[in-house]
Amino acid sequence: MGKQCVVLVTFPSCQLLDIAGPLDVFEAATRVVPRACYQTVIVSVNGGPVSSTSGLSLTTTPIASVRSPIDTLVIVGGDGTAEASHDADLLRHVRRLASRANRVTAVCTGAFVLAATGLLDKHRAVTHWEWCDLLQHMYPEVTVESEPIYVRDGNVWTSAGVTAGIDLALALVAEDHGNAAANRVARQLVVYLRRSGGQAQYSIPLAAQSIDDGHLLTSILSWVVDHLDSNLTVNALANRAHLSQRQFSRVFTAHVGTTPARYIEALRIEAARRLLETTTKPMEAIAAACGFGTPETMNRAFRRRTNTTPTGHRKHFGMCDGLGGSDERVAVM
DNA sequence: ATATCTCCCCGCCAAA
DNA sequence: TCTTTGGCGGGGAGAT
């Protein structure tokens, strides 16, 4: 796959996260996915500095100067969309770029700008939950859905509120380079909650999503987190999936981006960490609850994957010793 | 600390 | 022929 040009369209009072989220996803993808190469450019009607709602100002290039073929066009959201959707210049340029782009997308209230160009007509779309009704009212031609985190209709993709832009961008990466690649990116960014377009957000790290198929694995993955103390050898899981070990391993790795055993161990560690942080159970009990044969096994896994020990982790993040729980995370996979 | 045993993972080939 | 699947074997890591 060659270079893919991603154009992010901004305007005064846009939402910083709408830009930063996808931007970082594409950047990370380029870094950690071997064949991915996204080139991003941030544009506005006049170019130059554009201030976001948070006050931070962006350097942009004039939208008229975009010449190269466009892979993905991203319209960001923010307070400024109300005004932007009446900016004839902007709309004209968006239409022009959209006609040359493989994919046209909007994050959050960016959908309003897209709708104003007419590009959303006859398409299913979503926006920030707070604005779905208004969008539908203003643009009856658009089929507004309010549930999903993001919606794909042909080559038009829209996403719900701000951070859903990250999920949207991950979905785009998944389309280009596969689920495993998207998961790798998510992990890289420590978005340990990659959400499916569907809606339900899973409480499992990177687990039960999978944009297209995967129902096979999805059910197993979600079953697994509640049965960490069971026998979760590759063999056992393969049986559950009615596949040979060999095939199961292959399918698993392709979809999840990690080998079965590694993934299971990561889940176990994460579960153990939570118990260490939030309970005062003895190591013995925690190890057993998380599926480690012995506390010693848990110890080694801990050492290998983090740079602490269970005891050390409890000292830092545990309940005793002052400071209650903590939001800090240690990368685990 | 060591030895033995188990499981994982991946390349390779053959069958479907 | 091309793709998917299953089985085998071994190197190697880790568990007991």
Report the pLDDT value the prediction gives residue A329, as an integer from 0 to 100: 37
In angstroms, the CA A176 to CA A4 distance is 10
pLDDT tens for A9-30 read: 999 999 999 999 999 999 999 9
Kindly provide the b/e burial profile for residues A81-102, where b requires at least 16 CB atoms within 10 angstroms of the residue's own CB: beebbebeebbebbeebbeebe
pLDDT tens for A240-262 read: 899 999 999 999 998 888 899 99
Q: Is the dihedral of CA A109, A112, A118, A124 positive or negative?
A: positive
CB proximity A259–strand B (7 Å threshold) = yes
CB proximity A180–strand B (7 Å threshold) = no
Q: What percent of chain A has pLDDT over 90?
A: 51
What Cα–Cα distance (Å) separates residue A223 from each residue in A16, A57, A238, A275, A293? 37, 46, 13, 19, 20
For the cut 80, the answer to whether the pLDDT of residue A277 exceeds it is no
Mean pLDDT of A278-288: 88
Instruction: Considering only CA atoms, name the residue closest to the C1' of nucleotide C15.
Output: A297
pLDDT tens for A222-241 read: 788 888 899 999 999 999 89
Q: Which residue has the higher pLDDT, A208 or A60?
A: A60
Instruction: Considering only CA atoms, name the residue closest to the C1' of nucleotide B11.
Output: A246
Nucleotide closest to A246 measured between CA and C1'? C6
- Residues of A marked active site are found at 108
**In chain C, which nucleotides are within 7 Å of a protein Cβ?**
5-8, 14-16
Q: Which residue has the higher pLDDT, A161 or A239?
A: A239
CB proximity A294–strand C (7 Å threshold) = yes
CB proximity A240–strand B (7 Å threshold) = no
Q: What is the side-by-side order of every strand in the sheet holding A150-153?
A: A48-51, A57-62, A38-44, A4-9, A70-75, A101-107, A156-159, A150-153
Report the pLDDT value the prediction gives residue A204, as an integer from 0 to 100: 33
**In chain B, which nucleotides are within 7 Å of a protein Cβ?**
7-12
CA A251 / C1′ B12 distance in Å: 18
Report the pLDDT value the prediction gives residue A86, as an integer from 0 to 100: 95
What mean pLDDT, rounded, does chain A reach?
84
Report the pLDDT value the prediction gives residue A318, as an integer from 0 to 100: 62
CB proximity A278–strand B (7 Å threshold) = no
pLDDT tens for A190-204 read: 654 445 444 333 333
pLDDT tens for A65-83 read: 998 899 999 999 999 999 9
Lookup: tokens for A28: 């990370």
CB proximity A249–strand B (7 Å threshold) = yes
Lookup: tokens for A63: 């939208």
pLDDT tens for A88-146 read: 999 999 999 999 999 999 999 999 999 999 999 999 999 988 888 899 999 999 999 87
